[in-house]
Structure 1
C-alpha cells in the first residue's frame, strides 16, 4: 500500500497545484478531440458515399491531410516561437473553426469538403505544439510528467468518445453535427482569448532541467534532440501496425462487439494509468524506459499472434502499457535534451510521429498481406514483435557508438 500510495499522493497534490489556465487547457484537451473525432473518422464515408469521390482519390486526400497535420507541427513550433504561444493557439483555433464551418457547404461540394479538411489539419498542426508548451510553460521540472500525461489522457478520452457520440448523426443529420462542432470550437476559441499572455519563453538547457533565455531565434531543426526524435519515429512505426490492423485481425476471430470492448478497455487503461504512472516513468533512466516500453509492445504483439479472445485482449493491454511508457518518456527526454523552446521541441516530436506513422502505413499493408499468404496473419504480429525486440538493441548500439565517437 505504501508503494501505491506515494504516486497517488503526488498525483493528488499535483492536481491541487494546477492553475486556472492549466485546468482550462486540460478541459480543452478533452473537448477539442471530442469535437474533432466526432467528424474526422467519418471523412472517408462522407467523401466517398455522400459526395461520390473515388476511393483512390479519398485515400490520397486523407494521406496528404495526415501528412500536413503531423509534419506541420514543425511549422507550428516555429510560429509559436515567433508570435507567442497564446497567439498561435488563437490563430490555430480560428483556422480550425473556419474549417469545420466550411464542412457545411462541403456537404454539397467536394472541393469545399477537401478545403475544410485541410483547414482543420493546418489548425491542428499549429495548435498542438503551442498547447503543450503553454501547459508546461515555466513549471517546475517535476510537474511536467503529470501535466503532459494528464493532457494525453484527456486527449485519448476525447478521441474515444467523439466517434461514439457522433455515429448516430453523421449521415442522418450531418449539417446539425457540423454546426454543433463549429459552435463548440467557437466557444473554445473564445475561452482561449481569456488566457493570459505567457511571459517571455525560456527554453530548458539540455540535460540540466534549468532554464535560460535563448539568445536568438534559430533554424527550425537547430537543437534537434536526435535520440528522442529517432525513438519516437520507431515507437510510432511499430505502434501504428497495431492501430491500423488490429480490427482487420480481431473482428473475424472474435466479433465487432468484442473488438469494441477491447478498444474501450484499452482507452480506459490509457486514460487512468498515464497520470498514475507519470512520476515513475519520468524517474526511469531512458535506456530502461526503452526496454520496458518496447518490451511491453513486443509481448503484446506476440500475444496477439495466438488469435483467441483472451490473447487479443491481453495483447492489446500490453501494447497500451508500452504506449504509455514510450510516448511520455520520449517527450520528456526531448525536452530535457534540447536547448530549444518547448513548442519547437513538441513540433519536432510531432514530425517524428508523422514519419513513423507514414513508414508503418507503407510497410503494413504489404506485410499483412504477405503474412496471410504465407500461413496466417499471426505471423504478421510475430514479425512486429521481433522488430520491437530488435529496436532497443539497435538504439543501444547506436548510442554506444555515438558516445565513443565523442
Structure 2
C-alpha cells in the first residue's frame, strides 16, 4: 500500500513540465511569499528593538498588515476584473517594494502603520490577480493538452506554501547573521 507521497523528482517534473508563463506565475508566488515571510523576523525585531515598540504594539502592527491584506482582497479582485491581472500584479509588486522601502525609513508609529498597510494593500492586489490568472491559464492548458487544471493549481499552491515555509527560515538565518553583514 502506497503512502500517496511522490518522489521529489516527480514534483520537479511537474514544475518543469509547466509552460513558461505558468512557471513564471508559480515562481512569482514562491518569491512573493518567500520575501514577505523572510522579512517578518527582521521586521518584528526592528519594530521592537530598533524603534522601541512594546511587544503588544509590534503584534498590533503586524496584525494590521495582515488585516489590510485580507480586508482589501475584494478591492484587488475588483481591480483585476476591471483591468486584468497583469497590471494589477505589477502594481502589487511595485507597491510592495515601495511599502518595504518606506518601512525601512519609517521612524514613528504612524509611518510604520502606514507602510505596513501599504504592504498589505500590495498583497491584496497581487494575490487575487495572480491566482485569477493562474486559474485562467490552468483552464486553457486543460483545454489545450488535457492536463487536469488541478495539477497546475496544485503546483501553484505548493510554490506559495514552499515560500511561506522557507521565508521564515531564511529570515531567521539572515537575522542571526545580521551582525556579520551589518544589518
Q: TM-score by structure 2 length?
A: 0.77
Segment drifting more, 95-104 vs 133-142: 133-142
Shift of 1:126: 0.9
**1:20 and 2:20 are equivalent in the alignment:** yes
Correspondence for 1:170: 175
Please say which structure displays the higher CA radius of gyration.
1
Q: Distance in 2 between matches of 1:12 and 1:39?
A: 27
Structural mapping, 1:332-347, within 5 Å: none
Instruction: Tell whether the 8 Å contact from 1:14 to 1:143 is kept in structure 2 after alignment.
Output: no
- Does the Cα contact within 8 Å between 1:30 and 1:154 map onto a contact in 2? yes
Please list the CA deviations of residues 141-193 of structure 1 after superposition, one character each: whole Å capped at 9, or x if unmatched: 753211221122111211222222222443736x977xxxxxxxxxxxxxxxx
Specify the alignment match of 1:72 in structure 2. Answer: 72
Using the size of structure 1 for normalisation, the TM-score is: 0.38
2:37 maps to which residue? Answer: 37
CA separation in 1, counterparts of 2:165 and 2:182?
21
Three-state SS of the structure 1 residue aligned to 2:72 is helix
Contact 2:68 2:121 in 1 (8 A): yes
C-alpha distance in 2 between matches for 1:55 and 1:67:
18
Kindly indicate which of the two structures has a greater share of residues assigned to helix. Answer: 2
1:22 Cα offset (Å): 0.6
Could you say what the CA RMSD is over the residues aligned between the two structures, in angstroms? 3.3
Cα distance between partner residues in 1 of 2:66 and 2:13: 38
Q: Secondary structure at the match of 1:37?
A: helix
Q: Offset at 1:133?
A: 1.2
> In 1, are the aligned partners of 2:40 and 2:171 still within 8 Å (CA)?
no
1:43-73 CA-to-partner distances (Å, cap 9, x unmatched) read 3332222211223333332222211111211
Runs (4+) off by over 4 Å: 10-17
- Using the TM superposition, give the Cα deviation of residue 36 of structure 1 relative to its aligned residue in structure 2, in angstroms: 0.9
Give, in whole Å, the separation in 2 of the partners of 1:12 and 1:102: 37
Structure 1 residues 163 and 59: CA distance shift in structure 2, 3 A: closer
Instruction: Answer whether contact 1:38 1:162 (CA < 8 A) is retained.
Output: yes
Match of 1:152 in 2: 157
Equivalenced residues, count: 173
Please name the residue that 2:54 is paired with: 54
Gapped regions of structure 2 (runs ≥ 5):
none
Matches within 5 A, 1:345-356: none
